[in-house]
Amino acid sequence: MKTFSAQKGAFTSTPPKIRPLLEECTPLEPLGSLKFRTPYALADHTKRHVIENRNERWHQVLQPELLSDARDELSDKKTTGPIFNNLSTEYCRHLSTRLASACDGRTEHAHVLKVESLEGNTFSAKAQVVKAWISKERLVIVASSLVHGSKQRPYVLLTGYRSDPRQSRASFSRHEKARIIDQQRIRDEYIIDIHDDGAPK
Give the residue extent of every domain in the chain: 5-34+107-195, 39-100
168 SS3 class: coil
Q: How many residues does the structure list for the chain?
A: 201
What pLDDT score was predicted for residue 198?
55
Q: Which residues contact 137 (CB under 8 A, 6 or more apart)?
A: 60, 61, 98, 162, 165
Q: For residue 169, is pLDDT > 50?
A: yes
Q: Which amino acid is at 27?
A: P
**How confident is the model at residue 102, as a pLDDT?**
95
Strands (E), 20-155: 109-118, 122-134, 139-148, 151-152
Most confident of 76-85, 153-162, 191-200: 153-162
pLDDT digits (tens, 9 = 90+) for 116-150: 877 777 778 889 999 999 999 999 999 999 987 66
Q: What average pLDDT does range 152-175 have in this prediction?
A: 94
User: What's the rounded mean pLDDT across residues 85-96?
Assistant: 98
SS (H, E, C) 143-165: EEEEEECCEECCCEEEEEEECCC
User: In this predicted structure, what is the pLDDT of residue 118?
Assistant: 76
Measured distance CA(41)–CA(113) in Å, rounded: 22
pLDDT of residue 149: 63
pLDDT reported for residue 170: 94
pLDDT in tens, 6-41: 343 344 467 777 888 888 888 889 988 999 999 999
- Give the Cα separation of 50 and 6 in Å (integer): 34
